[in-house]
Each structure stands twice: as C-alpha cells, then as structure tokens.
Amino acid sequence: MRQRLRRAALGAAFLMIGMGTRVDAQPTRARALGLAPGIFTPGRHNAITDVEGVKVGQVTISEGDSLRTGVTAIVPHGGDLFRDRVPAALHVGNGFGKLLGVTQLRELGEIETPIVLTCTLCIWQAGDALAQWMLARPENAGVRSINPVVGETNDGQLNATRARPGIGAAVQRALASATDGPVMEGSVGAGHGTVMFGWKGGIGTSSRVLPATLGGFRIGVLVQGNYGGVLQMMGAPIGQQLGRYAFQRDVAPANNRSPGDAGAEHGDGSCMIVIATDAPILSRNLERLAARAVMGLARTGSSASNGSGDYVLAFSTASKVRRNPDAVVNTNEELGNDQMSALFQAVTEATEEALYNALLMATPVSSRSSRVNPLPVDSVRLLLRARGIR
C-alpha cells in the first residue's frame, strides 16, 4: 500500500511538472513542507535575530526594467560596535568572489562594523556607505580608520549590475531600519536578483537553540543564496526529479533536457553565509564553526564549483568575549574545545534550513534581460511526500 501511494504521489508530481502548474502561489518556509533538518529546536523566529541583540535591515532596489538588486545588513549588537567589538572569523569554501575587510578581520579576529551583503559590483559603494555610517555616529568623532565588512554575490542574470544604482543610500536605509524581529526572506534585499539551482533564490535564515544540558546557547544563520548544483532536500533528489540540475546536458538523455540555459549551467554562482551565536567563542573556534556551515551548504546539493564564491562569516555576541581596542589586556572566558560539537551540529542544521527557506520563500522576478521563477512548491511537496517527508 505504501509503495502504491508513493508511486501515485510521484506520478502526480511529474504531471504537475509537465503542466508547469503551481497551485500554491504563496511562498512557504521549509518547515511547512516537513523540511526540518536535524535534531535541535529553532528559536522563536527561526532566524538569525533569535540571537539576542542581532538586528537585520534590508532594502530592495527594483527600478525600471533592469535594476533588480538590494542590500541586507546584519548588526551584531546595539551598542558601540567600534569599541565593543565582537570576535569574528572567516571560512572560505571557494574563493571565487570579493569580500571587503577580510585581511583585518583575519588578522585581529574581530569586526568593528555591521556586515553588509549586496551585489558584486556594488561592494565598494556599500563599503564607503558603511564607513560613512560608522564615522557619523557621535561616539566615533575621533575615529580615523574603519574596516567595513561587505560581502556579495553576482546577480547579473536579472540585474544590470554595471549600473550600481543608489547602493550607498540603500545601505544607510538598511542600517537605519534594522530590527530584531522576524526577517524577511526570498527575493528581498541582497537576494532580490539572485538565482539558486536555476530557480529564484534569495535571502534565507534559520536558528537553533541548544538544550540547557549543552549550554543553552543560540545560533542563527542568514544566507544570500545565488549558487547552483544538483538540488536535494533532506536527501530527496529534487533537482533531478524536476529536470533541472548542473551538468544536465552532459548526462541526461536528449528528450529529458530542460529548455534554454538551465541545463547547461555547471553549478556556478555564490553563497554568503553569516553566523551569529551567543556562545562565548573567540576567532579560532569561530572559524571552526564557520567551516561546518559548508556541510549544510553541501547537503542542499552544492559542490562549490570553480565559479562559486562560498564565504562564511561567524561572530559571537557574548559579552565575555567582546574586544576593546584600547584595552592593554583582554581577558576572556571562552568555551572549551570539547563543548563545540553541539554547536557544529546546530550550525549545520541551521545553514541547511536557511538555504531551503531562501529557495522556498522566493517570488518571481523579471527584468529586461530575464525572468526567473521560484521553485514549484506544490511539485516539491508531492515529491517529498513520496519519500515519506510530511
């Protein structure tokens, strides 16, 4: 009986795929489809803002027939970011991309500004705007050097990226509007023009809360998804079953190739991943934590292709490990190495779910150069049911 039900669900899914239908036009978070990776429980918002003090602000730029981009800003805490610095670290999964502020971040193991995400050719304007925002704060009147941290992905398929429109003003608005509540996902902010696995990508987020026996720490992840590969969800080969995946033209029968360029892509693109935690961790273990996020990225079907810039930034908001640049001696109470394993598990789970949310919460975006539709949620729902997932 179970096998018959699974075959029926698969048949219905492929019928819907062939008809190109999407009954449920509303974006859907992963958990509504039964996609709940791992064993740990999410926080209240299932977002990076579940880490106390962290705020997110976003501005979407959609102008005329060709500008489809935006800004997403992550603010580590609401205090004096320059003098009450959070320890931070970077892990590079594949370095095909640009990231402002990386050398000082790695040298000092800390950040002194918010983190801004935007489009590839916008990072220099965004960096200048972020520096201006920091220098304009009254407490920074005497500051003569600032290290803005800005990441990017290339949204050139939908966006006239060479135009670089109004990014500076968008950065200022994103920072001014940053809040600690629910985070908008999908085709918003820095995810407005991004593409994932040939479907519309975007911003996604998720969180995990460790049990009290494991410290009760919180960890949140925010992603800017703009990459490819062979999409899978909780092990289900969704990309192959929907007929859209990397290297398809090279391996699929001629009558099973998707139209246009979707089947020709080789998984290129980029993914920015930002991790926040309230666990007291310094840069060495933050880098180890960031490295585990790539495992969550791989679970979605990415193999970090040659043309994929995959960067992970991680920071701790714990007051015990904050860094004062004027201090003669910094004393810290850091979590021991043996206590990191649960956090490694949590960040892998949260990264995977955040990437699912980026896909499932996306909405269609059109421009003069292209139109990219979101993942067909109803087809995915049927394919997941056929594998016993909800």
CB 210 within 8 A of CB 383: no
Q: Which pLDDT belongs to residue 382?
A: 95
Amino acid symbol at 242: L
Catalytic residue selected from 50, 278, 310, 378: 310
Q: What is the mean pLDDT of residues 349-360?
A: 98
Annotated active-site residue 308? The verdict is yes
Report how far apart the first and last C-alpha atoms of the chain are (Å, whole number).
Answer: 17
State what percent of residues in the chain have pLDDT above 70: 90
Q: Which two tokens stand for residue 388?
A: 């016993």
Catalytic residue selected from 206, 207, 270, 379: 270
> What is the per-residue pLDDT across 274-307, written as a single tens digit (0 to 9) for each?
999 999 999 999 999 999 999 999 999 999 999 9
**pLDDT band for position 266 (cuts 50, 70, 90):** confident
3-class SS of residue 206: strand
Task: Please give the model's pTM, rounded to 2 decimal places.
Answer: 0.93
Q: Which two tokens stand for residue 187?
A: 């085709």
Cα separation of 116 and 204, whole Å?
Answer: 15
Annotated active-site residue 270? The verdict is yes
What are residue 71's DSSP bridge partners?
59
Q: Does the pLDDT value for residue 121 go beyond 80?
A: yes
CA distance to 71, 78, 105, 190, 202, per residue, from 74 (Å) = 10, 11, 16, 12, 15
3-class SS of residue 326: coil
> What is the per-residue pLDDT across 122-138, written as a single tens digit (0 to 9) for each?
999 999 999 999 999 99
Closest Cα partner for 69 from 356, 367, 376?
A: 367
Average pLDDT, the chain: 91
**pLDDT band for position 368 (cuts 50, 70, 90):** very high
Q: Which pLDDT belongs to residue 262?
A: 43
Q: Which two tokens stand for residue 193?
A: 């023009």
Cα separation of 163 and 171, whole Å?
Answer: 16
Q: Does the pLDDT value for residue 16 go beyond 50?
A: no
> What is the per-residue pLDDT across 308-347, written as a single tens digit (0 to 9) for each?
999 999 999 999 999 888 888 887 889 999 999 999 999 9
Q: What is the mean pLDDT of residues 151-157?
A: 96
Please provide the CATH number assigned to the domain covering 28-229+267-373.
Answer: 3.60.70.12
In sequence order, what E strands does 216-261 have? Answer: 218-226
Q: Does the pLDDT value for residue 9 go beyond 60?
A: no
State the number of CA atoms in the 13 A half-sphere of 351 facing the CB: 31
Q: Which pLDDT belongs to residue 324?
A: 85
Q: Which pLDDT belongs to residue 257?
A: 54
Q: Which pLDDT belongs to residue 3?
A: 52
Taking the domains of the chain in order of start, what are their residue ranges? 28-229+267-373
Which residues in 312-338 are b (16+ Cβ under 10 Å) and which e? Answer: bbbbbbbeebbbeeeeeeeeeebbeee
Q: State how far Cα 92 lies from the chain centre.
A: 14
